[in-house]
Amino acid sequence: MTAIRPADPAAHEALYRSLRSRIMLGEVPPGQALTLRGLAQEYHVSMTPAREAVRRLVAEGALAMSGSGRMATPELSDERIEELAAMRALIEPELAARALPRAHFALIDRLASVNGQIADAVERHDAVGYIRCNLDFHRMLYLRAQAPLMLAMLETIWLQLGPTMRALYGRVRRNEPPRHHRMILAALRAGDEPALRLAVRADVTHGLRHLTSA
């Protein structure tokens, strides 16, 4: 872990971004208890930056705080997973459709390259690498939508799902990258908005169905 200088006025921002990334990628398992003192020691900061970072993550739903003050990554119920899946199924096809007019061939080639990295992660049985590349694939496309509020809302959903998705991918053995990504790439190349919306929605709902069935 890279040390964050205690005197750095942005220490809490650095801690927040690092811990947020770890949670989104599933590097922190569901139900993992965390303490302010432990985070301060791990990141070499005082208690104040740790407290501020945790406050922001609790507000985003990335951490749950009990009445006794215990902090942990959330353990999602099937109902909560289905709610988050429904939100993804609404937001992601819209972002993809908005991105389509700006999805030039160079971007599509980059997306295909990231999809190849997903295949490599599958072959290595690298769950965290799989999640990272999968999120990169979607984020790279959605950034072209130029809809920062929608993307920020979506990243909050990804953040809440991260630990649970990591736990799932640790149990479900995948043999190939998401097949719907090929459909997304084909729709982008064809400039076919209805097919793109369908492919993105299918990609989202197919993956999250595994969470509730598991």
3-state DSSP call for residue 31? Answer: coil
Domain with CATH 1.10.10.10 in the chain: 11-72
Residue 2's pLDDT is what?
A: 47
Let me know how long the chain is.
Answer: 214
Q: For domain 78-213, say whether CATH 1.10.10.10 is its number.
A: no
Query: Does 175 score more than 90 pLDDT?
Result: no
Determine the topology of domain 11-72 in CATH. Arc Repressor Mutant, subunit A (1.10.10)
CB 199, CB 184: distance < 8 Å: yes
Q: What angle do CA 165, 133, 184 make, to 5 degrees?
A: 95
For 10-43, how does the pLDDT look when each residue is reduced to its tens digit (9 = 90+)?
788 999 999 999 999 989 988 899 999 999 999 9
CA–CA dist 4, 26 (Å, integer)? 22
Distance set, CA 50 to CA 9, 19, 152, 189 (Å): 12, 10, 23, 45
Which residue's entry shows tokens 């507000």? 59
Residue 141's pLDDT is what?
A: 98
